[in-house]
Amino acid sequence: MSPQYDRADAIERDSADALASFRDRFIQPEDALYMDGNSLGLASDASIETLDRVVEEWKALAIRGWTDSDPDWFHYGEYLGELVAPLVGANASEVVVGNSTTVNIHTLIGTFLDLALAEQPENTPPPAVLVNDLDFPTDHYAIAAQLTQRGIDPDEKLRVVESSDGRTIEMDAIIDALETHADISIVFMPSVLYRSGQLFDLEAITTAAHEADAYVGFDCAHSVGVVPHELSTVGVDFAVWCSYKYLNAGPGALAGLYVNKNHFGAEPTLAGWWGHEKATQFEMNQTFTPAETAGAWQIGTVSMLSAAPLEGALAVIDEAGIEQIRSKSVALTDYLITLVDGRLGEVFSVGTPREPSSRGGHVSIEHPNAKQLSAALREAGVVVDYRPPNVVRLCPSPLYTRFVDVWDAVELIRSLADEEVTTVNVDSQVT
């Protein structure tokens, strides 16, 4: 065995890790090696502190918390948006925190469908939306619903790019679809595929979509907080993401959205009073006047207890630096892939692209008994998850996962595989 593939070397890698100290700021599950941060990030001391602060403000100020807290609750969605904006490469006014990811897909797809319809000449076919067959299902559900609500048949106008290998989507296939179907008005793709971990080239997709006179949006749930983005520079029209994975804001945390400033003034499909311009919101006018920022796509009153942990979590990410986070993520996933190749048998394979530029923050390990293996790993104290038909996802989250954790996880997989695990006792039900 090569000396670089032993536990001592993993410990040595940890000793040279610039982000090693951040692990102590997170609350580790008892008796568990946690490798599931791409489903739910861990709680940090900082996120608990900001949650506790808002609870104390509620106790001390009651209704006055909306104006007298620091930061005030009334502008909290915009305040958090300003903190998230550097992670996605956007202007502060282009980002807001609010709603859920699925709700944000609904309102943004609807908005851009309405823009496309308004721009169409009379007597032309209705617009189509381009997606892919490896998407997380909620994307398709929401888009199909928005098409249906406009009298557009999703069976005809929800155009699907098909994967050639069941793992990844080729850029050429997206371009071919745009060249074949002139009615495509919106391209909506993930930044990272939830199953395989493929990282898409957002700039190339944006360029191709705009050359085809289509709007482009991204579901960035599996990249924000672990992969830096430049949404404004690239010219992306809109994007959505959740806050409970790599942003570590907790289960049910409010989601985020981005709208390019070129589209400020567009009418949100799902209008609500929290998206009204702030200066006149409490005049209670029956006519909706949208904010001249991404804040217009807020709907209902900000859920403070679902938002507050994000403030503390973002402070930790800001201190660590998104570039350093990405660098360690690449190193951890490189190491994990190397161990899978070198330590596990031929029955295992890596389903994630090996080029770092094409890979997000997790690695998919393929095995014919993946469901049983995932369950056995959880029973043994290694928290991973299973995705049909044959994938065990491992996520070495860079703020709290060590190289030695990766080593130990792979060694346990190796021992369980040797035992030919075939029983199933638990399933993962998270995204």
Residues forming the active site: 136, 219, 244-245, 393
| b/e 99-128 (16+ beta carbons within 10 angstroms → b) | bbbbbbbbbbbbbbbbbbeeeeeeeeebbb
CB of 319 closer than 8 Å to CB of 313 = no
Residues 104 and 239: their CA atoms lie apart, in Å, by 9
Contacts of 370 (CB under 8 A, 6+ apart): 386, 387, 389, 390, 391, 392
Tell me which residue of 330, 201, 327, 250 sits closest to 39, measured CA to CA.
250
Pairing mode, strands 363-366 and 349-350: antiparallel
* Termini Cα distance of the chain: 36
Contacts of 153 (CB under 8 A, 6+ apart): 147
CB of 285 closer than 8 Å to CB of 127 = no
**346 class by beta-carbon count within 10 Å (0-12 exposed, 13-18 middle, 19+ buried):** exposed
Tell me which residue of 409, 332, 335, 348 sits closest to 378, measured CA to CA.
409
Q: What does residue 297 show for φ and ψ, rounded to 5 degrees? A: -90, 5
DSSP per-residue letters across 167-191: S---HHHHHHHHHH-TTEEEEEEES
Tell me which residue of 316, 298, 315 sits closest to 75, measured CA to CA.
298
